[in-house]
Structure 1
Amino acid sequence: PLQETHQQDWVGIGFRMGDQRFVAPIGEIAEILHEPRHAVMPGVKFWVAGVANLRGRLLPLMDLCGFFGHELTSARKQRRVMVVEYNDIFAGLVVDEVFGMQRFSQLSLIPHTPQDVDQRLVPFLRGQFIREQAWQIFSPWALVQSADFMDLAS
């Protein structure tokens, strides 16, 4: 008898920075929030938006667009915060928009990064999927481990 083959779908959280779409591995995002009220912190890089209280935990908020040298393009009500927990790191990445869970066929993964991508993004990209347009695979865990991200003081 013929055996049916089941391909494993790749599942991630879709989000937008500027006019580019990205998808983060679902296991690298702890939760998604509306942009919370936050206190501005003095003496930090311009892309550190501030710190918020998330159920009794201090959540540093980082403007992901700002980190990569771009401006947030959406209105505050459309922005979202992707909360990342990796080892001892707890951070909120502010993005223009979140599209929720995205599924892609594992077979459609293109493992290399296109050459026309902003070079500042390359260390954090893990390939792409194409569905109407490119969805770059962005690793928040790679970002929060980078020396540039950890260097918050201005």
Structure 2
Amino acid sequence: MANMRGNLLPMMDLHGFLYGDNLEFDPRRQRLLVMNHQGVYAGLLVESVLGMKHYWREERLDDVPEVDARLQPYLAGACRRGDEHLAVFSPWKLVDDEQFMNISA
């Protein structure tokens, strides 16, 4: 738990949820992504953030590149630019997952 601007923010290790083992603590690289979706206010601890890219609508695709099966339910299509074909992770799909919402069970 964290206090963010007076609100209690539950924090979850995304790697731990997906793969069952928590990340090693490296504060120089790890980031907390804060989301607020349908009344769910939470932080996702991620291993690192490499940057932000912007894509045109024409670069959006429905076909997702091959990725780990544990990520599949949380993907919202992909983007392609040149040889780059990247899956798009959706934190909103994660929040809609009953397993994620009952993570303490």
TM-score (norm 2): 0.82
Answer yes or no: is the 8 Å Cα contact 2:64–2:86 preserved in 1: no
Note the alpha carbon deviations across 1:42-101, whole angstroms, 9 max, x for none. Answer: xxxxxxxxx111111110101111111065367222111111101210000111112343
Answer yes or no: is 1:59 the counterpart of 2:1.
Answer: no
1:72 aligns to 2:23 (yes or no): yes
Q: Which residue does 2:40 correspond to in 1?
A: 89
Q: Tell me the CA shift for residue 133 of structure 1.
A: 4.1
User: Which structure features the higher share of helix residues?
Assistant: 2
Q: Please name the residue that 1:26 is paired with.
A: none
Name the Cα RMSD after superposition.
2.1
Alignment partners' CA distance in 2, 1:133 and 1:78: 24
Partner of 1:107: 58
Higher-strand-fraction structure = 1
Q: 1:123 aligns with which of 53, 73, 90?
A: 73
The runs of 5 or more residues in structure 2 that have no matched partner are none
Unaligned runs of at least 5 residues, structure 1: 1-50
The structure with higher relative contact order (CA 8 Å, sep 6+) is 1
| Partners of 1:133 and 1:82 in 2: CA distance | 24
Q: Percent identity?
A: 38
Q: How many correspondences in the alignment? A: 103
SS in 1 for 2:53: strand
The 8 Å contact of residues 110 and 127 in structure 1, kept in 2 or not, is answered as yes
1:141 alignment counterpart: 92
Aligned partners of 1:64, 1:153: CA distance in 2, in Å? 14
The answer to whether the 8 Å contact 2:33/2:44 transfers is yes
